[in-house]
């Protein structure tokens, strides 16, 4: 799965940008590409099994069907009410969550996340960190709300699946489970997405397992000794002042981590 979001609609941590200068890049470091090049490269690697949709200059989403039909992990791409979800993994408690949200038994993992997001955006009785923490299994997802221009992504804590993110040549945020797509598209400005964490285009990056603790950026150095982006970890010694919510009710569209 691949999500590309214009910098005006997503605000990733500054540390995700590589400090490598343009002169150093010219000496052999792979340059970051523009969003259209990244999308074309991703689709061309799987020409018969891929699908994509774009939202003007705001966002692009792409998906490749699962090739391993015996895997318990699914690749899903769903859209409803102008909300789109890319999902990879499997939820062990899907049936329980379907009952909790009053959904059809035929609801899949991606549709469940869309309905949960939509419910919390409109009514929001629970903080977003608690809702994501209730997801049991190996999972990664990217949600794009085209009505509000909201980006929401998360990675489960068990390490069963991976997710990566980076910065394109024009400053757009790129999120994908395909490491080659991220490396090839973002040059040195990329990093593994931290497990047990979620990213919101307004609230930023936070841990849904430890929502009261701030995230800390640790510089990454590649095999050539070049600093490239940062790893993000929970700072167990630094706490934030409030839970990630705005007003009397939390929702995934406006939560604030500060």
The answer as to whether 246 is a domain residue is no
Digitized pLDDT (tens) for each residue of the chain, 258 residues in all: 999 999 888 888 888 988 764 444 445 557 899 999 999 999 998 887 889 999 999 999 999 987 666 667 889 999 999 999 999 999 999 999 999 989 999 999 999 999 988 887 887 666 778 889 899 999 999 999 999 999 999 999 998 999 999 999 999 999 999 999 999 999 889 999 999 999 998 888 999 988 888 888 888 877 667 777 788 888 887 877 654 444 434 455 555 544
For residue 40, what are the contacts with CB-CB under 8 A and spacing of at least 6?
none
| Sequence-ordered strand ranges (E) for 31-160 | 50-55, 59-64, 74-80, 83-91, 137-145, 150-155
Give pTM, 2 decimals: 0.87
The answer as to whether 221 is a domain residue is no
| Sequence-ordered strand ranges (E) for 6-114 | 50-55, 59-64, 74-80, 83-91
The answer as to whether 175 is a domain residue is yes
The answer as to whether 104 is a domain residue is yes
Tens digits of per-residue pLDDT, 110-122? 999 999 888 878 8
The answer as to whether 254 is a domain residue is no
Residue 25 structural domain: 2-65+72-209
The answer as to whether 91 is a domain residue is yes
The answer as to whether 23 is a domain residue is yes
CATH of the domain at 57: 3.60.20.10
Query: Which of 52, 74, 65, 67 minimizes the C-alpha distance to 3?
Result: 52
CB 138 within 8 A of CB 161: yes
Number of domains in the chain: 1
The answer as to whether 222 is a domain residue is no
């Amino acid at each position: 799965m691949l999500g590309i979001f214009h910098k005006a609609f997503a605000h990733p941590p500054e540390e995700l940008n590589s400090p490598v200068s343009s002169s150093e890049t010219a000496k052999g470091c792979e340059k970051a590409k523009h969003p259209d090049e990244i999308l074309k490269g991703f689709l061309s690697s799987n020409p018969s099994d891929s699908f994509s949709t774009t939202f003007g200059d705001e966002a692009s989403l792409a998906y490749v069907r699962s090739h391993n039909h015996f895997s318990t992990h699914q690749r899903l791409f769903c859209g409803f009410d102008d909300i789109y979800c890319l999902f990879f993994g499997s939820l062990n408690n899907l049936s329980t969550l379907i009952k909790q949200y009053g959904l059809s038994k035929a609801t899949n993992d991606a549709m469940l996340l869309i309905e949960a997001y939509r419910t919390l955006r409109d009514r929001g009785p629970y903080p977003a960190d608690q809702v994501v923490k209730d997801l049991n299994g190996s999972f990664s997802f990217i949600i794009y709300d085209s009505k509000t221009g909201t980006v929401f992504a998360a990675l489960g804590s068990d390490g069963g699946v991976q997710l990566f993110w980076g910065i394109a040549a024009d400053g757009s945020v790129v999120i994908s489970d395909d490491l080659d797509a991220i490396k090839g598209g973002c040059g040195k400005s990329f990093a593994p997405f931290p497990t047990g964490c979620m990213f919101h285009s307004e609230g930023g990056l936070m841990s849904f397992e430890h929502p009261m603790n701030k995230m800390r950026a640790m510089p990454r150095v590649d095999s050539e000794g070049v600093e490239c982006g940062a790893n993000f970890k929970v700072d167990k010694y630094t706490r934030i002042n409030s839970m990630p919510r705005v007003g009397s009710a939390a929702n995934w569209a406006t939560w604030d981590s500060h």
